[in-house]
Amino acid sequence: MIIIKHIDKIEEILAQKKSNGKTIGFVPTMGALHAGHISLIEKSKSENDFTVCSIFVNPTQFNNAIDLQKYPITIEKDIDQLELAVCDILFLPSTAEMYVEGEKNEHYNLGMLETILEGKYRPGHFQGVCIIVDKLLKAVNPNTLYLGEKDYQQCMVIKKMMASKNYDVVLKVCETVRENDELAMSSRNIRLNKNERIAALKIIETLKFIKSEIKPGKLDKIKSTATNLLTENGYKVDYTEIADAETLELIDYWDGDKKLVALVAAYLNDIRLIDNLIL
Ligand code: PAF
């Protein structure tokens, strides 16, 4: 695996590959890699001539400075995992490389996606995600971008940003990879202690409760019962919501027809966990 730290270098190498007719798959990450990330690398490898993974802990998407400070950094292990997965290129830029001093950040029109769920509870987060993914896509210029469905709203935001910028890149959203007990894999899971790891299962249990109990009609009761399931188990809940799976419009009354997704974000002590389930 080649490790590249500079934008001009990665642009040069990948432009050459593309001009030779090679396809490029791209997996952007913030490191602390787990089997979910590796499954994206494997998918990209099976569909492209070249696979690029980026590791960059993007400061502009952290609306909370402590969250950024506590973000796990495991670069040596990450490199080992990427080598094992036979990833072709790791793009590992510095903050100064991605954010040139004095450069004004672009603003993206994300509509209601920015005002609900993660957008509501993490103001500015999706602007930061779009800024960095836009810069990464310009540098890598992939044929296909691979993202995990665990960040359901992020996938929709990036899709919207890519459409607004006319990127000629296919977005593939890949199923969430789960531990044997169904906890969604996440870089933040490293921070869970033994008791928190057990309690973390309440998130998927709550989502499954919604899936099994949902009926056409008003959804306020099922949402509040689901929230209670989490608060009773020590969580501070940001949201327990049900939304249109295509648009993410929040749904209070279900016609029994529309495809829905249930989404949860909640804190276990100071660790924020998110997950979702198509209903
Ligand atoms: O999902 C992530 O890890 C990040 O939000 C991403 C897409 C790599 C942008 O920093």
Among the atoms of ligand 1, which is closest to the Cα of residue 54? 8
Ligand 1 mean position, distance from CA 269 (Å): 23
CA angle 69, 73, 75 (to 5 degrees): 155
- Could you read off the pLDDT of 208-221 as tens digits, one per residue? 999 999 999 999 99
The rounded Cα 264 to chain-centroid distance in angstroms is: 14
Among the atoms of ligand 1, which is closest to the Cα of residue 148? 1
End-to-end CA distance of the chain: give it in Å, rounded: 40
Domain boundaries, the chain: 2-174, 191-278
Of how many residues is the chain composed?
A: 279
Ligand 1 mean position, distance from CA 274 (Å): 14
Ligand 1 mean position, distance from CA 80 (Å): 20
Per-residue pLDDT tens listing for the chain (279 residues): 999 999 999 999 999 999 999 999 999 999 999 999 999 999 999 999 999 999 999 999 998 888 899 889 999 999 999 999 999 999 999 999 999 999 999 999 999 999 999 999 999 999 999 999 999 999 999 999 999 999 999 999 999 999 999 999 999 999 999 999 999 999 989 999 999 999 999 999 999 999 999 999 999 999 999 999 999 999 999 999 999 999 999 999 999 999 999 999 999 999 999 999 999
Class of domain 191-278: alpha beta
What residue type is 136 in one-letter code? L
CA angle 193, 56, 73 (to 5 degrees): 30
DSSP string, 204-247: HHHHHHHHHH--SEE-HHHHHHHHHHHHTTTEEEEEEEEEETTT
The rounded Cα 184 to chain-centroid distance in angstroms is: 12
74 class by beta-carbon count within 10 Å (0-12 exposed, 13-18 middle, 19+ buried): middle
Query: Considering only CA atoms, which residue is closest to atom 2 of ligand 1?
Result: 29
- In degrees rounded to 5, what are phi and psi of residue 16? -65, -45
Ligand 1 shell residues, CB under 6 Å: 28-30, 58, 61, 129, 132-133, 151, 154
Burial state string for 157-183 with b = 16 or more CB within 10 A and e = fewer than 16: bbbbbbeeeebebeeebbebbebeeeb
Residue 3, CA distances (Å) to 52, 88, 98 in order: 10, 9, 16
pLDDT at 31: 97
Active-site annotation holder among 6, 37, 107, 125: 37
- In degrees rounded to 5, what are phi and psi of residue 48? -135, 165
pTM for the model? 0.96
Class of domain 2-174: alpha beta
